[in-house]
Amino acid sequence: MARWLVGGGLLTVWGVSVVFLVVLVGGGRVGVAGYAVWVCAAIAGMSVFAWCAGRVRRAVAVRVGPAPSVSAGELRLALSRGELQLHYQPQVTVGGDVVAMEALLRWPGPRRPEVGAEEILRAADACGMGGRVTAFVLESAVAQAAVWHRQGWAVQIAVNFAAADVLRPHFAAGVLRCLRRHRLAPEAFKVEITEHGELRDGRRAAGALAVLRSHGVTVSLDDFGTGHCSLSRLRMLPVDELKIDRSFVSGMITDERDAAIVRYSLGLARCLQLTVVAEGVETQQELDRLVAYGGCLVQGWLVCRPLHGAAATQWLKDHASCLR
């Protein structure tokens, strides 16, 4: 009969989070305790390393990427104090017509560098606050878009949602309630589904997105080509738009493989009658190349950097003649 001694913990060394499990086993078998760390690591998106020394078996799960620099307490305070902000970046045609503004989450701070959306959301998910942060972004973005529409600027607002957001109960109903509360037409709203994160229930996600599309909401597949099974997700989900990831756009001038991926994505979208947005367009050469490939919507610093609410409003005012 095997005897077990199981211990473990969490270490952060040089910004890397390490979950470790030590199992001392009689009979030379690791068994279920050793297997458990593999399961937990897989769920958390970690890599697993293991080694043995005599009768000791150790399994170590290493979280890929740096540990969150934001604590749960800091994030709760930031939400309660209204420190989180949305910045907005235009999406325009190659001719300069303004089609949409994407809401991008930021956390500025006087005593530390600005924290971006990826870091904020990673910290929020780690402490169970992902839903609260997503609700803040949705409410703030729709409220700002409603103000712009009342001023006569009929620009679409785009908001990012992770796969976990779409799978939350009553996701579609919550989005529609928010739109009604601010009197913003569903046609003025765009849901951008990020590729980062496994979509565990594709049928349920497709159902929620289909409800939104039936009301006029646009559905966009963000970071196309980088995440979990892009083609499978494209086939599974009811989408209107693809967003080509900035890594391919920035590389297409010097790397023929990136150029081929961009051309393929544009051709695929045309065959499926989908709109395309190229992210991260920073140079005139990149814009010219996209025009040569048949054109699409563009987003990036060549057009405009992300702007806070007042600055974004002024930008729209200055470009009112370019609004569709």
User: What pTM was estimated for this model as a whole?
Assistant: 0.77
CA separation, residue 95 to residues 13, 64, 288 (Å): 49, 41, 11
pLDDT at 195: 64
- Check: CB of residue 250 under 8 Å from CB of residue 286: yes
Distance of CA 26 to the CA centre of its chain: 46
Separation CA 161–CA 292 (nearest Å)? 32
297-298 vs 4-13, strand pairing mode: unpaired
Instruction: Read off the DSSP letter of residue 253.
Output: T
Alpha-carbon gap, residue 21 to 33, rounded angstroms: 9
Residue 241 to residues 188, 191, 218, 244, Cα–Cα distance (Å) = 15, 10, 8, 10
Integer Cα distance of 187 and 218 in angstroms: 7
3-state secondary structure of 11: strand
323 DSSP assignment: B
Would you state the pLDDT for residue 197? 60
CB 128 within 8 A of CB 164: no
Q: What's residue 231's pLDDT?
A: 82
Q: What is the pLDDT of residue 322?
A: 83
Q: Residue 133: what residue type?
A: V
Could you give the CA distance from residue 262 to residue 246 in angstroms, rounded to a whole number?
Answer: 10
Per-residue confidence (pLDDT) for residue 114, from 0 to 100: 81
**150 by DSSP, 3-state: which?**
helix
Return d(Cα 241, Cα 243) in angstroms, integer: 7
Instruction: Give every CB contact of residue 13 below 8 A, 6+ residues apart in sequence.
Output: none
pLDDT per residue as tens, the chain (324 positions):
333 334 444 444 344 444 444 444 444 444 444 444 434 443 344 444 444 444 343 444 333 445 556 777 888 888 888 889 999 999 999 999 999 999 999 988 766 678 888 888 888 888 888 889 999 999 999 999 999 999 999 999 999 998 889 999 999 999 999 999 999 999 999 999 986 666 678 889 999 999 999 999 999 999 887 765 468 888 889 999 999 999 999 999 999 999 999 999 999 999 999 999 999 999 999 999 999 999 999 999 999 999 999 999 999 999 988 886
Residue type, 254: T
End-to-end Cα spacing for the chain: 75
What per-residue confidence (pLDDT) applies to 93? 96
Task: Output the pLDDT for position 228.
Answer: 55
d(CA 11, CA 21): 11
Alpha-carbon gap, residue 259 to 232, rounded angstroms: 22
Angle at 91 (CA atoms; ends 115, 166), nearest 5 degrees: 65
For residue 99, give the amino acid letter: V
